[in-house]
Structure 1
């Protein structure tokens, strides 16, 4: 097992980060082309919304797994986390644009849906959480914000929960796929919380004894 992890880490170090951006970006125009050519079924717009949204959730989950993979298995993928985070935002933006431009189509109806439909409100809130994260996913922002950068990027957890709730609420009746996404996200957040508590036990005890 150790040899496999070491080989995976050596392989990961040789992968340029730009290839991750490219690999994650390629499905976006491909899905759109499938929609145009009728390969997404009778309701291509809804299917396109679903594809972009599902990929956004998958990338959110991928980003959340990076720390547990390093902590429990020694797999170092931290250098790809920014690319995964930025592309998560791109997929969410694509999901939003397909809904607003191709599905709803008018600004008046967009605002009406945001205000009147709870699952749309929650989805929009998740998108707004990702906006500052995407805007600060660069070296200049890391240097400028300092320790505040990490605190700001904890909004990822909020966005993940909101995305899972949005998907469950959007589904008509009980569907297994949204529940699985929500369970995985919840499990990863609990795992990260336990890792954080295990990392700073002395600091917490000193605060309690003050």
Structure 2
């Protein structure tokens, strides 16, 4: 497997934050409401990973290094894992596993519905992020995985409702997401430097 050390480094880097946050929650080092803090950090971490995942293709085009694409699928799956952790923490710490409370939250906080839509779309992408699905779906696989931009929009809308008091932070993520989307537009994508691929880069095209 090519880029083995790079893949391992990315895996460990993605594993560290949730492990640290869970430990901090365990020792009551996340402030007066550790459950909510943990939920918020996991959600923000998922958004970070989604943006980083979307940045892999532009980075590959700009640098010509196939390692960016080699870890794109792993980063996407880590994004999904963070979302699962985010939802699990919400269910345990904020709902107390009370489905009745969930019904009340849905009526008071519509951003939960938006987040749920993004989660189910991300679930579809995670389930089809394998070579079998790529072969089975063919061209439709790329069309399906363009849902990632709709997922990003829903995630930003979800965050907008949550952090209404801090628009500056939200605007930063919205600008980053808009820039990444713009880089995928054909008129801009064609202008990105695209070095002639060597043997290593050709081998990574199966991940694209």
Shorter-chain TM-score above 0.5: yes
Structure 2: gaps spanning 5 or more residues: 192-208
Which position in structure 1 is the counterpart of 2:48? 58
Deviation, 1:156, is: 1.0
2: distance between equivalents of 1:195 and 1:84? 27
2: distance between equivalents of 1:46 and 1:193? 37
**Is 2:146 aligned against 1:167?**
no
**Is 2:56 aligned against 1:48?**
no
**Is 2:59 aligned against 1:69?**
yes
Which position in structure 2 is the counterpart of 1:90? 81
2: distance between equivalents of 1:192 and 1:115? 37
Instruction: Give the TM-score taking structure 1 as reference length.
Output: 0.81
After superposition, what is the alpha-carbon deviation per residue over 1:52-90, rounded to whole angstroms, capped at 9, x for unaligned? 111101110101111111223334310100100000000
Matches within 5 A, 1:6-21: 13-15=3-5, 17-21=7-11
After superposition, what is the alpha-carbon deviation per residue over 1:93-121, rounded to whole angstroms, capped at 9, x for unaligned? 11111112210221122233235422111
2: distance between equivalents of 1:63 and 1:160? 11
Instruction: Give the TM-score taking structure 2 as reference length.
Output: 0.82
2: distance between equivalents of 1:178 and 1:54? 11
Deviation, 1:15, is: 2.4
Deviation, 1:194, is: 3.7
2: distance between equivalents of 1:84 and 1:111? 32
Larger relative contact order (Cα-Cα within 8 Å, sequence gap ≥ 6): 2
Answer yes or no: is the 8 Å Cα contact 2:49–2:76 preserved in 1.
Answer: yes
Query: What secondary structure sits across from 2:184 in the alignment?
Result: helix
2: distance between equivalents of 1:119 and 1:51? 17
2: distance between equivalents of 1:29 and 1:52? 11
1: distance between equivalents of 2:122 and 2:27? 31
Superposition CA RMSD, Å = 2.1
After superposition, what is the alpha-carbon deviation per residue over 1:34-65, rounded to whole angstroms, capped at 9, x for unaligned? 11211111110111011111110111010111
Query: What secondary structure sits across from 1:86 in the alignment?
Result: helix
Structure 1: gaps spanning 5 or more residues: 1-11, 200-210
